[in-house]
Amino acid sequence: MILNIALVCRRISHAIACGALAGVNGSADSTNVQGEDQKKLDILSNDLFIEGNQWGGQLAGMVSEELDEPYSIPKPYSRGRYLLLFDPLDGSSNIDVNVAVGSIFSVLRTPDSRRTTTVKDYLQPGVKQVAAGYAIYGPSTMLVLSVGNGVHAFTLCPLVGEFMLTHPNLQVPEDTNEFAINTSNSRFWDEPVRRYVDECIAGKTGERGKDFNMRWIASLVAEAHRILMRGGVFLYPRDNKLPARNGRLRLLYEANPIGFIMEQAGGRASTGHEPVLQVVPTEIHQRIGFIFGSKNEVERIEEYHKHPRRVDSPNPLFHERSLFTESPNML
């Protein structure tokens, strides 16, 4: 199955590399089940994942960001013991500006391979994953994989067309001076997230006593890969912009596989309130707040959620370390 996934990622890499020359860039003029605009490459990548994995005999079914319902392996193909959950092309909005994108996948055991899969079969917490990984399509194409015994990265050799082990036993540094968050949403953040980001921005003059750099690529795979290679912390927390949603990223095929990779590499993955791999899903396209990366930074953010700072003034201009300081003489 992993070999089939690797073959699919090679085919997607080739399609992305051809880009406008192959006529695969741009919008597909359609939306997925989440109501998001689909790119031509979203649909092509999804089709390649299904085509490349349904015949191998290892899978009982699949779930994808681009499918409304689970896909059961059809006859005459043999049905196997595993379930494949995937985001076929993460960050596809970056395709037209030639920024790195990727594919994310998660593998679970099916409760019963003798019958057609149901939605309930996929609603397993991330700790139940038997394998997870992602492919990143950047200056080079890399496949990052864990089967529960560490994290290893393979680089696609363009000369022989095979993935070769280039980065064995990757480890996320426990400490970092980089954070990644979309600051345009700052007015919607909960207080613990605002507190953490304020401390990072304050740098050496603030409570942390050191300067931080901020990065934001708007591609989950690219963010995860940077953190895996050199450390950092990524925050896409639940906020109040869309109160009905419990976050932005999908739990089963984005947060869980990336969280699995991070924790296998010595990092930490969290919702801010609890380990993300412990969350019991309630639906296949469930969204969740997601924070991951260098262990000590994620634990600090979790601590801020457990013990939020009391803010007396409702006016953000007068919060601690803000633009103005309250004075009894102020009118």
> What is the secondary structure of 190-222 as a DSSP string?
-HHHHHHHHHHHHGGGSTT-S--EE---S-HHH
The pLDDT value recorded for residue 92 is: 79
| Alpha carbons 193 and 76: distance in angstroms, whole number | 51
Where in the sequence is the domain holding 228, given as residue range(s)? 178-318
The pLDDT value recorded for residue 311 is: 62
Question: What confidence tens digit (pLDDT) does each residue in 174-183 have?
Answer: 999 999 999 9
- In this structure, the answer to whether residues 78 and 213 fall within a common structural domain is no
Number of domains in the chain: 2
Any domain includes 158: yes
Contacts of 273 (CB under 8 A, 6+ apart): 302, 305, 306
Any domain includes 149: yes
- In this structure, the answer to whether residues 236 and 302 fall within a common structural domain is yes
Tell me the mean pLDDT in the region 163-189: 97
Instruction: Tell me the binding residues.
Output: 65, 87, 89-93, 182, 254
Output the average pLDDT for the chain.
Answer: 90
Residue type, 10: R
Residue where a domain stops, chosen among 167, 192, 207: 167
Length of the chain: 331
- In this structure, the answer to whether residues 12 and 111 fall within a common structural domain is yes
| Alpha carbons 218 and 80: distance in angstroms, whole number | 35
- In this structure, the answer to whether residues 163 and 184 fall within a common structural domain is no
Read off the tokens for 224: 């995860």
Any domain includes 331: no
Any domain includes 325: no
Any domain includes 329: no
- In this structure, the answer to whether residues 119 and 161 fall within a common structural domain is yes
Cβ proximity of 87 and 123 under 8 Å: no
CA angle 39/43/48 to nearest 5° reads 140
Question: What confidence tens digit (pLDDT) does each residue in 203-237 have?
Answer: 999 999 999 999 999 899 999 999 999 999 999 99
Task: List residues bridging with 108 in a β-sheet.
Answer: 83
Any domain includes 37: yes
The pLDDT value recorded for residue 105 is: 98
Cβ proximity of 60 and 80 under 8 Å: yes
- In this structure, the answer to whether residues 160 and 245 fall within a common structural domain is no
Instruction: Tell me the binding residues for Mg(2+).
Output: 65, 87, 89-90, 254
Residue where a domain stops, chosen among 146, 167, 188: 167
| Alpha carbons 79 and 131: distance in angstroms, whole number | 19
Any domain includes 324: no
- In this structure, the answer to whether residues 156 and 30 fall within a common structural domain is yes
| pLDDT band (50, 70, 90) for residue 305 | very high
- Please state the pTM of the whole predicted model: 0.90
The pLDDT value recorded for residue 140 is: 95
Read off the tokens for 143: 């496949």
Residue where a domain stops, chosen among 136, 167, 198: 167
Q: What is the CATH number of the domain that holds 126?
A: 3.30.540.10
CA atoms within 13 A on the CB side of 246: 15
Rounded alpha-carbon distances, angstroms, from residue 20 to 12, 92, 97: 14, 14, 11
Q: What is the CATH number of the domain that holds 247?
A: 3.40.190.80
- In this structure, the answer to whether residues 145 and 229 fall within a common structural domain is no
Helical spans, DSSP H, in 97-190: 119-122
Any domain includes 218: yes
Q: Does residue 328 have a cis bond before it (omega within 30 degrees)?
A: no
- In this structure, the answer to whether residues 69 and 185 fall within a common structural domain is no
- In this structure, the answer to whether residues 10 and 58 fall within a common structural domain is yes
| Alpha carbons 148 and 145: distance in angstroms, whole number | 9
- In this structure, the answer to whether residues 96 and 237 fall within a common structural domain is no
Question: What confidence tens digit (pLDDT) does each residue in 18-75 have?
Answer: 877 777 666 655 666 666 667 788 999 999 999 999 999 999 999 999 999 999 999 8
- In this structure, the answer to whether residues 313 and 203 fall within a common structural domain is yes
Instruction: Tell me the binding residues for substrate.
Output: 90-93, 182
